[in-house]
Structure 1
Amino acid sequence: MEKDPALRLRVFDLNCWAIRYLSKRRQERIRLIGDRLCQEGFDLVLLQEIWSERDYSDLKAKLGGCCPFSHYFRSGVIGSGLCVFSKFPILDTLLYQYSLNGYPYMLQHGDWFCGKSVGLVVVRIAEITFNIYVTHLHAEYSREKDTYLPHRVVQAWELAQFIRHTAKAADVVLLGGDLNMHPGDVGIRLLRSWTGLQDAYTEAKHFEGCEDGCTLTPNNCFTVKSELQPFPSGIRIDYILYKAISSFTVKCEELRTTTGTVPGMDIPYSDHEAVMARLCIQRRGQTAGVTIGTAMPALVEVLSEARTEVCMGLLTARRQRYSSGRMAVLAMLLLLLQVVGVLGVLGGLAAGKPFPALSFSLLAFLALAILLLAAGLHLFHSIEVKMLQGTKEQMEMVIRGLQEQPLHRH
C-alpha cells in the first residue's frame, strides 16, 4: 500500500509586546511583523500581547492575502491579547480564562486585568483535524521570590486539563505561546507530562537562531537587562509544542528564532524573539499503543511537586484571607465607635457644645474606605483559596488514580 504524502506546516509564534501607550514604537513594530508574515507566508500564526483591537484589525487587513482566516480572543478588562491567523478555514473556536491570574492590587504588574486565557481554534487541513491552542501565562517578575508561582502552576494545570478534554476528537494538537516558564520549571514539566506534548526545540532536526533557543535575550534593546543578569545568554519561555493523536505522526523538521533587530532596521520585532517551526505530519500504518505506564513514576513525581507548590500558595492565600477579614472587622468596629460617638455628641448639643462635623466625617470616610477595601480583599482571597484547594484536590485524585492503576493491570 502506498504511503500517504506528508503534510508540511509552517508555524509562527510571537509575543508582540503591543501594549497601547506603553510599548515603545508599537505601531512601527506591528507593521514590521505584518511585513515579515506576508513575506514568508506561514500557514499558522499564533500571537500574544496584541492588546489593541486596532492592531489586530491592521494585521488582519495586511494578512488577508496569505492568512485570510483569523480570530481574536476577548477576555478580562483589557483583553487576552491572543489571536490566530490561518491559511485554512477556522471551523470552531473556544476560550478558557484561567481561574487565577495574579492580584488586582498589584497594579505595577497588571496581569490580573489582562484576563490571561487559552484560546482554541479548530482547523481541518488535508482531511486532518488540528486543535490549535494559543496562550499566555502569568509573568515571572522575580526568580528568587516568585510570588506568582502557585498561580502559574494552576494555570499550567488548567491548560493541560483543557487540552486533554478538548483534544479527543483531534488528529494533531499544536500549542504555541509565551508560557513564562523555563524548560525545567515544574509548570512546563507538568504540562508536557500530563498532555504528552513534545517540545519543537528539543525535537527539531535542524535549529537556527539564538543560543539555546532563547526567546528573551539581554541583546534585545527592549528587555530589562537587570532581570536577565543571572542568564547571560537569555531565557527560553516561548514554545511551540505538539503531539499526534490517532494514526498520525508529527516531526519537527526545522525550528528557527529571530535574532535581534529586523534586517535593515534598528529595532527588533518585539522584546521577545519569534519562534518558527516547520512540522511534518504523516499518517502511520497503525495506531500506536498507549505507553503511559512507562512514564507513570515520573508523572506522579511531577504531579506531587506541582501539588506542593499549590499547597504553599494555599497557605499564603489563607493567611491573606485571615488578615483581610480581621482588617474588615476592625474597620467595622471603628464605624460602630463613630456611631456611638455621634450619639454621645448629639446628646451633648443640648448643653450648647459644638458638633465637630468635619472630624467625624473624615474618620467615618476613612473607616468606610478601609472596610470596603478589606472586604474586597477578603472576597478575592476567599476565591483564591477555593481555586487553589480545588486544584490541589484534582491533583491528589489523579495521583491516587495513577498509583492504583498498576494494581489492576495483569
Structure 2
Amino acid sequence: MVASPGTMKPNFSLRLRVFNLNSWDIPYLSKHRADRIKRLGDFLNMESFDLALLEEVWSEQDFQGLRQKLAVPYPAAHYFRSGIIGSGLCVFSKHPIQEISQHVYTLNGYPYMIHHSDWFCGKAVGLLVLHLSGLVLNVYVTHLHAEYSRQKDVYLTHRVAQAWELAQFIHHTSKKADVVLLCGDLNMHPKDLGCRLLKEYTGLLDAYLKAQDFQGPEDGYTMVKQNCYVRQQDLSPFPFGIRIDYVLYKAVPGLYISCKTLKTTTGHHPHHGTPLSDHEALMATLCVRHGPPQQSPSPPHGPVEKSLLTRVLREARMELGLGIARARWWTTFAGYATGLGLLALVLLCVLAVGEGPSEVAMLLWSPSVGLALGAGAVFLFHMHETKGLCSIQAELQHALEKAKETQDLGPEPQLAPLPGQQEGDRDEEQ
C-alpha cells in the first residue's frame, strides 16, 4: 500500500541520485566502443546511483555485459526493444522495478534516409514505476529524432510530434505518480518549439535551471568542443556547445522536490582523460520532502502559464500544418509516379504479347517495376505520415481549445454574501 503525501511524516525526506548518458554505443561505427562501455560500467559501479539511464545502447550484447557487471549495485535492469535496430534505451536501478512500459513514436524520420537511420531504430519512450519510501515514482527515459542540420531541419515536424506524444504519454501514465522524472537526449535546444511544448504541457522543471549547485560546462552544455569524439562541424554554428540532454522532474502538490546538485562531465572522463561518449553525462541529486501547501510549487497552469501554453500549442499546430502540407505533396507526387510505373508495365505487357519489339520491352521491364514498387512504397509511407500528423494536429487543436476555455473562464469568482447572510453568520457564531 503506497502512502499519500498527506499521510507522511512532516520530516519525511527522500534523496535520489540519477545518472543519464547518451552512450554512443553503435556497433562498427562508434570509436573505442568496448573500452568506453567498460569504463562506463566501472564508473557506475563506483558511484552507485539510484538510477542510471542510458540512450544509444544499440548493442544488446553490451547491455547484457553491463547488466552482469552491475548486478550487485543495480539488481534491476531493463532494455527497451523496438524497431529494427532497437530504441537504444536501457535503465539500471538500485531499487525494484514495479512496472515497465514503453511507447514507440508514431513518426520517426524517413526509411529512405538510410544514412540517418532513425527510422530503423524505432525511437521510443520507456517508463518504469518505482515505489520508494511510500511514494510512486514514474521514471521516463527517451531519445528523440536527431536534428542533423540546424539550417535545413527536415525532421523538425517529426520531432515536435514526438515531443507532443511524449508529453501526452507522461500526462496519461503519471496520474497516480507522486514524482515524475524524465531523462534523455531530446535532441532539442532549451528554446526549441518541441522542448517548450513538452515543458509547458507537463509542467516539468529543468534540473539545470533549478539546481542549487551546478558543476559543468558553461550554460549546461552536453555536447562540447573539448570532447574528442564530437564532430567539430556539427558544432560549427555554436562556438561553445549545445544543451540537448536533460533531467526534468516534478512532484504532486504536498511534496516539494528540488535539485540539490547537478554535475556534468566536461569533455573527459571524471577520473580519466578519455570521454565516456560524445555526449556529456548528467548526474543529478534530487531531494523530495513533505511540504506544506504554501511551500508546494504553484500550479503548473496558472494564468501566465496558460497563456504560454496557448502560444506554444498554436506554434506546434502551425508547424504540424506545414508538415502535413509537405507530406501531402509527397503523397501526390509518389501517387503519380506509381501510376506512371504501372502504366509503363501495362504498355510493356502489351508490347511483349503483341508483335512489338520484345527486346525493348524486356529492357524497360526492370526500371518500370522498380519505379512502381519504389514510388508505391514512398506513397504508402507518406500516406502514413499524413495520417499520423493529422491525428497529432487534431490532438493539439483539442488541447488548444480546452486551454482557451480555461483561460477565458479564469478563476471562479467569489460570490458576494446575500443580504442578511453575514448577520446570520455572526448570530450563529455568537
Partner AA of 2:311 in structure 1: E
Within 5 A, what are the aligned runs for 1:1-400?
3-262=10-269, 265-286=272-293, 290=299, 292-294=301-303, 295-345=305-355, 356-357=358-359, 359-400=360-401
Listed one character per residue, the Cα deviations across residues 198-233 of structure 1 (whole Å, up to 9, x for unaligned) are 000000000001111101111111111011011111
Distance 1:313 1:70 in 2: 38
Matched AA of 1:6: S
- Check the 8 A contact 2:349/2:361 in 1, yes or no: no
Change (3 A) 1:131 1:390: same
After TM superposition, give the deviation of residue 344 of structure 1 in Å.
Answer: 2.4
Instruction: Tell me if structure 1 keeps the 8 A contact 2:138–2:180.
Output: yes
Tell me: CA distance 1:213–1:406, structure 2 relative to 1, closer, same or farther (3 Å): closer
* Residues 90-122 of structure 1, C-alpha deviations (whole Å, 9 max, x = no match): 000001000000000001100000000000000
CA distance in 1, matches of 2:409, 2:218: 47
**Cα contact 2:147–2:155 (8 A) shared by 1:** yes
Per-residue CA deviations over 1:137-182 (Å, capped at 9, x if unaligned) read 0000100110000000000000000000000000000000000000
Superposed displacement of residue 290, structure 1: 3.7
Q: Is contact 2:256-2:297 (8 Å) kept? A: no
Q: 1:270 and 1:27, CA in 2 relative to 1: closer, same or farther beyond 3 A?
A: same
Query: Partner of 2:268: helix, strand, or coil?
Result: coil
- Root mean square deviation, CA, Å: 1.5
Q: Give me the whole-angstrom Cα distance separating, in 1, the residues matched to 2:98 and 2:271.
A: 39
Could you tell me how far apart the structure 1 residues matched to 2:155 and 2:298 are?
38
1:280, 1:45 → 2: CA distance? Answer: 17
Q: What do the CA deviations read for 1:221-264 (whole angstroms, capped 9, x no partner)?
A: 11110110111110000000000024211100000001122256
Q: Is the contact made by 1:261 and 1:269 (CA closer than 8 Å) also made in structure 2? A: yes
Distance 1:290 1:218 in 2: 39
Tell me the secondary structure at the aligned position of residue 130 of structure 1: strand
TM-score (norm 1): 0.95
Gaps of 5+ in 2: 1-7, 413-430
The percentage of aligned residue pairs carrying the same residue is 49
Distance in 2 (alpha carbons) for counterparts of 1:315 and 1:253: 46
> Conserved in 2, the CA contact under 8 Å of 1:171 and 1:247?
no
Cα shift readout 1:69-95 (whole Å, capped 9, x = no counterpart): 111100000111001111100000001
Distance 2:255 2:362 in 1: 72
Label 1:309 to 1:285 Cα distance change in 2 as closer, same or farther (>3 A).
Answer: same
Q: Which amino acid aligns with 1:313?
A: G
CA deviation after TM superposition for structure 1 residue 188, in Å = 0.4
Q: What's the offset of the Cα at 1:4?
A: 2.4
Superposition TM-score, scaled by structure 2 size: 0.90
- Give the partner amino acid of 2:398: M
Q: Give the aligned length.
A: 401
Structure 1 residues 321 and 250, CA gap change in structure 2 (3 angstroms): same
Q: Measure the CA separation in 1 of the matches of 2:63 and 2:266.
A: 24
Distance (whole Å) between structure 1 residues aligned to residue 36 and residue 258 of structure 2 = 32
Instruction: Please tell me whether the aligned partners of residues 13 and 276 of structure 1 are also in contact (alpha carbons under 8 angstroms).
Output: yes
